[in-house]
A and B are shown apart, each in its own frame.
Chain A
């Protein structure tokens, strides 16, 4: 069975510093995708970044980068130069791409990030 584990219920970071949010996953699929979403207090789900299991380079999107370590089955999100607006819940998610998968996402329980001024 596929599973996503986020072990940090809450994190604090000083404004302008970098922060790493942890995510480990478990799957028997050879091909899969990993996602990070941000959920601010307003409640919407905002897509941040995607990493495919066969991508050789770590994904980056602006201040977001994904530290993908396939052998360790980890997909940590790094946010550089934190801003007050980064305060939100962050969810790691996975989609299995092998035959039989219907493409639905499996989510972790999330990490609440608070950025201090």
Chain B
């Protein structure tokens, strides 16, 4: 059973471009959480999704950030018009029932 997959592992974007981060949960997992880790910080919750539904987006910045988890395919975290402050590691975690969470390897976003 493959683990949580995230791609790309590293992403470089210029200011103003869009960043798309993908997360494929473990097989059979229908719950996905996205977290952001700024340098020298712990992970901070962003959004919680189940298939086709956003359950909790209380940690998402109000503008430029969006997330989806379609019926088919990976969960996508989308950041429009990136700024330098968006540079961080973005982790997703999947869960079969919303309790134990298994983390992916993360995507390291660098905005130049």
A residues near B (Cβ < 8 Å) are 4, 33, 37, 43-45, 47, 50, 91, 93, 95, 97, 102-110
- Tell me the complex Cα distance, A95–B105, Å: 21
Contact present for A104 and B45 (CB under 8 Å): yes
What does DSSP make chain B's interface, helix, strand, loop or mixed?
strand
Apart from A45-B106, A105-B43, what 4 extra A-B contacts exist at CB < 8 Å?
Answer: A45-B93, A103-B99, A107-B42, A107-B44
Known: A43-B89, A45-B91. A105 touches B45 (CB 8 A): yes
Chain B, interface size category, equals 20 to 34
B residues near A (Cβ < 8 Å) are 31, 33, 35, 40-45, 48, 55-56, 59, 89, 91, 93, 95, 98-106, 108
- Tell me the complex Cα distance, A42–B31, Å: 25
Known: A91-B42, A103-B99. A43 touches B106 (CB 8 A): yes
